[in-house]
């Protein structure tokens, strides 16, 4: 089908040292998808990448093994040999501007300082490929970004990223069939629901603690100044009035 994705690229750095770092989120998704789909990823020296294919005439799965800043080499060679246009390429990568657990897809746009995207755009001569962006969060200081992306995420962040990867894998069949709008709608609808739930939670007022019941007010006991009438009444009731 025209417009179908024919090449899916996962970005990351090769080697044990980097396999669990945030920058390898793209690798995580493609490795998991290949495992679930029964696709073997094999090292191809010509492309300097791990390469697999979904079926005999299906899309290519590629994990460049030449480090992040040279990711475009394998993409350029595969796209050139099989005549794959930028609009038929989906690049999966980590995204600093999204919190862990967020996943979004778009076509084209800038590279936002991502070295893998920079090299791919340079080698393809185009920004018009699709991107599937997996949020990893931001350290809060641009000077700390390099160290941050090359560190392992916290356990709770990794769990959120894995959950986003699971949702993203669900929409890949739509991408491979050419239904990009359907894929985006399905993926982004979950993000909208999560954002709405978060907004609602922020608006919900904090329940105030019940105010303590006031202590019963003790009224002062009134002592009558002249008790004689009370005594007189008592004797009257006992003996009655003489006739």
Catalytic residues: 23
Place of tokens 């084209």: 108
Structure tokens at 182: 């359907």
Report the sign of the C-alpha dihedral through residues 70, 75, 80, 82, in that order.
positive
Distance in angstroms (rounded) separating the CA atoms of residues 110 and 96 = 14
Q: Find, among 106, 110, 108, 114, the residue nearest to 25 by Cα.
A: 114
How far is Cα 21 from Cα 44, in angstroms, rounded to an integer? 24
3-state secondary structure of 65: coil
Helix, coil or strand: residue 240? coil
Q: Under a CB-based contact definition with an 8 Å cutoff, are residues 71 and 116 in contact? A: yes
The residues, any chain, with a CB within 8 Å of residue 67's CB and separated by 6 or more, are 13, 14
Report the distance separating Cα 18 and Cα 6, nearest Å.
27
Using CA atoms, how far residue 47 sits from 50, 66, 176, in Å, is 8, 9, 22
CA proximity to 89, closest of 78, 81, 73, 104: 78
**Cβ atoms 123, 163 nearer than 8 A:** no
């Amino acid at each position: 089908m025209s417009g179908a994705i024919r090449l899916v690229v996962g970005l990351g750095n090769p080697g044990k040292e980097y396999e669990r770092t945030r920058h390898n989120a793209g690798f995580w998704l493609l490795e998991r998808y290949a495992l679930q789909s029964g696709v073997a990823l094999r090292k191809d020296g010509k492309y300097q990448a791990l390469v697999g294919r979904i079926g005999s005439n299906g899309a290519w799965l590629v994990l460049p093994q030449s480090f992040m800043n040279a990711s475009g080499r394998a993409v350029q060679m595969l796209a050139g040999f099989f005549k794959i246009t930028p609009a038929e390429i989906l690049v999966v990568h980590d995204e600093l501007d999204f919190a862990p657990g967020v996943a979004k897809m778009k076509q084209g746009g800038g590279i936002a300082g991502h070295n893998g995207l920079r090299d791919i755009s340079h080698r393809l001569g185009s920004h018009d490929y699709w991107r599937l962006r997996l949020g990893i969060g931001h350290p809060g200081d641009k000077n700390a970004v390099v160290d941050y992306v090359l560190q392992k995420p916290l356990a709770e962040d990794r769990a959120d990223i894995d959950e986003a990867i699971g949702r993203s894998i669900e929409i890949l069949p739509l991408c491979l069939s050419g239904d990009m709008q359907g894929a985006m709608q399905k993926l982004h609808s979950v993000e909208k629901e999560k954002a709405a739930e978060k907004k609602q939670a922020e608006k919900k007022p904090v329940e105030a603690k019940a105010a303590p019941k006031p202590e019963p007010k003790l009224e002062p006991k009134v002592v009558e100044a002249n008790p004689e009438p009370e005594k007189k009444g008592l004797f009257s009731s006992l003996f009655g009035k003489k006739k």
